């Protein structure tokens, strides 16, 4: 398997951020961690940002840039390591050692040709779904996992992000969208990846899919395919996100307890209907 998008890309030496976001969850634990660094000119540093959606706590651990190491198949910050197949965190607030298996990967970039545009922010979905097995806080753990990579100069002015992989029948979802400052105007771009029964369904600005949303719902469609989602946010925590130049001082509200109901149709016929608890949601529109 090619780990497209996983290697450290470092396209800039200042005013830039890059991070890998990983989630593991089951009925008892609901955790996310971000391995990242910022080249914000006024405060460059590496950091580990992790949080517990069940207990509601958030930790931001700073490290010197020298503590960050990365290669084609790993990211390391101090004693903490993330690879396409495993996660190891050793911190006073959290200890986790898990391996990823039975992976479902998107196969190609979620952003497609949008990667070639001079955008503020780029995102790659590296793992839509996997089985995570190991220990968390010295207790046996088995659940689901998700992995993505985000990098650029700043988060968009307006955006949404949604991820869910606790659907029945092994379905999984990742979708995001935001404003794309480009020359003298600011269009809105998006992508949605949905997988079920070994098939990938892809909706995006680049394949001329349509997108609409409102409070508690969103829908995308192209040709005879449509994906309708209804959302209940659940409890949110406040994370640090990148503002202009990669400076980590923007408040980002994220829930790890969103309930997501999905209906996938083709020519009016229902291909899939199901609900996922423990979805990840940022709604900053």
What is the tens place of the pLDDT at every residue in 45-84? 999 999 999 899 999 999 999 999 988 889 999 999 999 9
Is 91 part of any domain? yes
pLDDT digits (tens, 9 = 90+) for 18-30: 999 999 999 999 9
**Percent with pLDDT over 90 in the chain:** 84
The count of domains in the chain is: 1
Q: Is residue 11 part of a domain?
A: no
Average pLDDT estimate for 29-46: 96
Inform me whether the pLDDT recorded for 178 exceeds 60.
yes
Is the pLDDT at 251 greater than 50? The verdict is yes
252 assigned to some structural domain: yes
Distances (CA, A) of 251 to 39, 80, 123, 192, 244: 18, 25, 19, 24, 13
Residue 193 is assigned to a structural domain of this protein: yes
Q: Residue 214 has which token pair?
A: 């409102």
Predicted local distance difference test score (pLDDT) of residue 272: 98
Residue 265 has pLDDT above 60, yes or no: yes
Query: What is residue 62's three-state secondary structure?
Result: strand
Range of the domain at 66: 17-284
Give a yes or no: residue 1 inside a domain: no
pLDDT of residue 117: 83
The answer to whether position 64 is within a domain reads yes
Q: Please write the tens of the pLDDT for every residue from 210-244.
A: 999 998 999 999 999 999 999 999 999 999 999 99
Residue range 130-148: mean pLDDT, rounded? 98
Contacts with 198 (C-beta within 8 Å, 6 or more apart), sequence order: none
Q: Say which range, 12-26, 90-104, 106-120, has the weakest mean pLDDT.
A: 106-120
Residue 1 has pLDDT above 70, yes or no: no
Q: What is the pLDDT of residue 3?
A: 40
pLDDT at 183 exceeding the cut of 80: no
Higher per-residue confidence, 118 vs 195: 195
Is 39 within a domain?
yes
| 8 in a structural domain | no
Neighbours of 196 (CB within 10 A): 19
- The reported pLDDT for the residue numbered 114 is 85
Whole-angstrom distance, CA of residue 214 vs CA of residue 154: 25
Position with higher pLDDT, 9 vs 240 = 240
Rounded average pLDDT over 90-96? 95
For the CA atoms of 9, 165, 207, 176, the dihedral, rounded to the nearest 10 degrees, stands at: -60
The whole-angstrom separation of Cα 77 and Cα 73 is: 14
Average predicted confidence (pLDDT) for the chain: 93
């Amino acid at each position: 398997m090619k780990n497209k998008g996983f290697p450290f890309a470092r396209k800039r030496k200042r005013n830039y951020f890059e991070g890998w976001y990983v989630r593991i969850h089951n009925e008892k634990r609901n955790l996310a961690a971000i391995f990242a660094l910022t080249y914000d000119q006024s405060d460059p540093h590496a950091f580990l940002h992790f949080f517990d959606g069940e207990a509601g706590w958030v930790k931001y651990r700073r490290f010197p840039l020298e503590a960050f190491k990365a290669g084609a198949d790993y990211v390391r910050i101090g004693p903490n390591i993330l690879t396409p197949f495993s996660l190891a965190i050793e911190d006073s607030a959290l200890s986790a050692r898990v391996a990823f298996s039975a992976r479902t990967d998107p196969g190609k970039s979620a952003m497609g040709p949008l990667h070639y545009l001079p955008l503020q922010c780029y995102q790659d979905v590296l793992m839509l779904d996997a089985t995570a097995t190991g220990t968390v806080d010295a207790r046996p753990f088995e659940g689901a996992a998700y992995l993505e990579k985000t990098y650029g100069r700043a988060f968009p002015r307006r955006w949404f992000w949604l991820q869910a992989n606790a659907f029945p029948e092994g379905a999984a979802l990742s979708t995001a969208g935001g404003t794309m400052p480009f020359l003298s105007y600011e269009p809105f771009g998006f992508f949605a990846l949905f997988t079920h029964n070994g098939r990938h369904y892809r909706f995006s600005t680049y394949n001329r899919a349509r997108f609409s949303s409102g409070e508690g719902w969103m829908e995308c469609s192209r040709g005879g395919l449509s994906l309708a989602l209804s959302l209940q946010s659940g409890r949110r925590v406040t994370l640090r996100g990148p503002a202009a130049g990669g400076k980590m001082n923007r408040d980002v509200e994220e829930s790890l307890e969103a309930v997501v109901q999905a209906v996938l149709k083709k020519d009016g016929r229902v291909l899939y209907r199901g609900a996922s608890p423990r979805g990840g949601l940022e709604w900053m529109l």
